[in-house]
């Protein structure tokens, strides 16, 4: 009801104003030159409920690039295009406890199967598995999924794409290694092009809140009222978000926040709360949450965004456990 929602909105405004200042404990993702100059103190959020109720606060409408949040989309797309078992033969579903761009386990654990699709090694592999025999066709398959979910064609931030293409030495190294071990299905440059393009898709918190909401509803779209992602794939994506979505801080997120979430180095976090059987729960029908705060911590997660999500989870009892 309106009273409860206006209370939530004012809580949220207060928390956004408060946690904004914590951004100074982080930095923008300066290893990607085009992300260096983001405004550290920006913080925004959209919460979307199935009935259409929306709460927005702060810099909710500032565009940012998906970065690693795109890994959820490309994983879903690969499962749709190639089937779950085909994809899971080439990328595992185990958390690593290592940094998102780490190369170490590829060599440590022969034969070098990437541990999960939420880290770069796994995501570059997944990019190569998308249907189509060119980077153009693979991207088109991904863009069609994006359009199905969000009702619009994706916009690419060319500056971010070029910036990362020119500096992505570690991703190149990962891709070459994966090519050598036969996990990459396309040429190295092609997989990198797809991966870095998907990372450069521009969104706002409203867009990723809608993606989160669709996943919260096991792939059922609240607007088109269609099952846009098969339930099995949606559940898999959520399990991966919970166990691997915040990289080597995923355990802490599960312990202290307790909802599936996926971050990106531009400062986005896509999270969701599944529907609850208990009628006294806030967001009983579930919700999608999109957050943007460009200052990131040592793990690559938004500093202010993580604190905001933690506050919400604790105040509103959102943990799924
Ligand atoms: N494009 C970034 C990279 O590959 C994505 C990483 C991230 O968001 N964690 O390094």
224-258 pLDDT per residue, tens: 999 999 999 999 999 999 999 999 999 999 999 99
The verdict on residue 234 lying in a domain is no
What is the model's pTM?
0.97
Give a yes or no: residue 237 inside a domain.
no
Protein residue closest via CA to atom 6 of ligand 1: 68
Q: Do 56 and 95 belong to one domain?
A: no
Query: What's the burial of 280, exposed, middle or buried (CB within 10 Å: 0-12/13-18/19+)?
Result: exposed
**pLDDT of the residue at 112:** 87
Instruction: Specify if 230 maps to a domain.
Output: no
Question: Among 28, 69, 101, which residue has the most ligand 1 atoms within 8 Å of its CB, making it the best to mutate?
Answer: 101
Neighbours of 272 (CB within 10 A): 28
68 in active site: yes
**Domain of 76, in residue numbers:** 68-201
Which residues, at least 6 apart from 71, have a Cβ–Cβ distance to it below 8 Å?
A: 117, 118, 122, 123, 126, 262
Model confidence over 23-81: pLDDT tens digits? Answer: 999 999 989 999 998 999 999 999 999 999 999 999 999 999 999 999 999 999 999 99
Domain count, the chain: 2
In a domain, 253, yes or no: yes
Burial of 120 (0-12, 13-18, 19+ CB in 10 A): buried
Regarding whether 181 and 152 lie in a shared domain, the answer is: yes
Told to judge if 195 belongs to the known catalytic residues of this protein, a careful annotator would answer yes
Contact by Cβ (8 Å): 238, 260: yes
Residue 75, domain CATH: 3.40.710.10
The ipTM, to two decimals, is: 0.97
CA of residue 261 to ligand 1 center, whole Å: 16
Query: In the structure, which protein residues have their CB atom closer than 6 angstroms to any atom of ligand 1?
Result: 67-68, 100-101, 120, 164, 171, 199, 264-265, 300
Domain end, chosen from 201, 232, 263, is at 201
Instruction: State yes or no: is 231 an active-site residue.
Output: no
């Amino acid at each position: 009801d309106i009273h409860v929602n206006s209370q939530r909105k004012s809580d949220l405004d207060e928390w956004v104003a408060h946690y904004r200042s914590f951004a100074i404990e982080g930095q923008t993702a300066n290893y990607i030159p085009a992300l260096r100059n983001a405004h550290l103190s920006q913080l925004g959020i959209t919460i979307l409920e199935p009935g259409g109720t929306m709460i927005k606060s702060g810099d909710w409408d500032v565009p940012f690039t998906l970065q690693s949040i795109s890994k959820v989309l490309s994983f879903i797309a690969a499962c749709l295009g190639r089937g779950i078992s085909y994809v899971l033969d080439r990328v595992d579903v185990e958390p690593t406890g290592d940094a998102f761009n780490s190369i170490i386990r590829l060599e440590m654990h022969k034969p070098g199967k990437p541990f999960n699709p939420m880290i770069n090694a796994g995501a570059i592999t997944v990019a190569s598995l998308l249907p189509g025999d060119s980077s153009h066709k693979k991207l088109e398959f991904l863009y069609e999924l994006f359009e199905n979910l969000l009702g619009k064609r994706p916009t690419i931030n060319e500056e971010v794409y070029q910036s990362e293409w020119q500096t992505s030495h570690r991703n190149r190294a990962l891709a070459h290694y994966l090519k050598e071990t036969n996990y990459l299905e396309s040429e190295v440059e092609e997989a990198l092009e797809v991966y870095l393009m998907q990372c450069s898709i521009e969104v706002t918190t409203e867009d990723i809140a809608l993606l989160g909401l669709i996943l919260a509803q096991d792939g059922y779209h609240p607007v088109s009222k269609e099952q846009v992602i098969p339930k099995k794939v949606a559940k898999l994506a959520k399990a991966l978000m919970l166990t691997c979505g915040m990289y080597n801080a995923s355990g802490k997120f599960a312990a202290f926040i307790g909802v599936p979430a996926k971050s990106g180095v531009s400062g986005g976090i896509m999270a969701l709360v599944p529907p609850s059987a208990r009628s006294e729960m806030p967001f009983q029908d579930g919700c999608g949450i999109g957050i943007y705060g460009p200052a990131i911590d040592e793990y690559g997660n938004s500093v202010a965004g993580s604190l905001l999500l933690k506050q919400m989870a604790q105040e509103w009892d959102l943990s799924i456990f």
